[in-house]
Chains A and B, each alone.
Chain A
Amino acid sequence: TQLLEQSPQFLSIQEGENLTVYCNSSSVFSSLQWYRQEPGEGPVLLVTVVTGGEVKKLKRLTFQFGDARKDSSLHITAAQPGDTGLYLCAGEGYSGGGADGLTFGKGTHLIIQP
């Protein structure tokens, strides 16, 4: 079974600060995705990284895929209250039990205080 460990689980910071969320595994993933989920809604895809060492930017968000494709990070610069939400990393591959889909990390609850 492939597992994804996310850290930190909870993070509360002031507006304007920078932060990094980590997603680690002992398994190699073909691709890794980051989702953001707001209360009462489904996860929304932010980005997919495929190549080892790949870096993608989405405005103030920077995503990196580890060289060995076992880990990823999400860095937010100058966080804003609108960034508040649950951030989930997910890897492509078998999630155990044979089901074909994504393996999700347990998420990082991010709160940006004004």
Chain B
Amino acid sequence: DTAVSQTPKYLVTQMGNDKSIKCEQNLGHDTMYWYKQDSKKFLKIMFSYNNKELIINETVPNRFSPKSPDKAHLNLHINSLELGDSAVYFCASSQRGLLYEQYFGPGTRLTVT
């Protein structure tokens, strides 16, 4: 059984478009995250979402917006895509209070042309 899943695995789109990446976890965790991994493999947190409480990394442009229809899903919507948005985006989940041990999805490689 897949613990954290993301779709799509690859996403190629043009500048200016709007796109979404979906994430689902079946671990029963109460907190979900989005991370961005750049070309040098540096992972940086973008958002954390717990019990309808959204905490945003202030460096993330407001073109990025997470949407959580329920506790098991945290989707990432990106407006007006730019070349610099090209990266691998990882969804992760954890149970708050359990050392922040995180379970990552397989990643979505976004390429903006």
Whether the pair A92, B100 counts as a contact (CB closer than 8 A) is yes
A-B contact count (CB 8 A): 81
Q: What is the CB-to-nearest-CB distance from A100 to chain B, in angstroms, rounded to a whole number?
A: 4
Across the interface, B107 reaches (CB within 8 A) one of A41, A45, A98, A103, namely A41
Q: How many residues of A contact B (CB 8 A)?
A: 29
Given A40-B107, A42-B4, A43-B43, A99 and B55 touching (CB < 8 A)? yes
CB pair B48–A100 under 8 Å, yes or no, is yes
- Taking a contact as CB atoms closer than 8 A, the residue among A50, A98, A102, A109 that contacts B57 in the complex is A98
Judge whether A80 is part of the interface by a CB distance below 8 angstroms.
no
Residue numbers of A with Cβ under 8 A of B are 31, 33, 35, 37, 40-45, 48, 50, 86, 88, 90, 92, 95-104, 106-107, 109
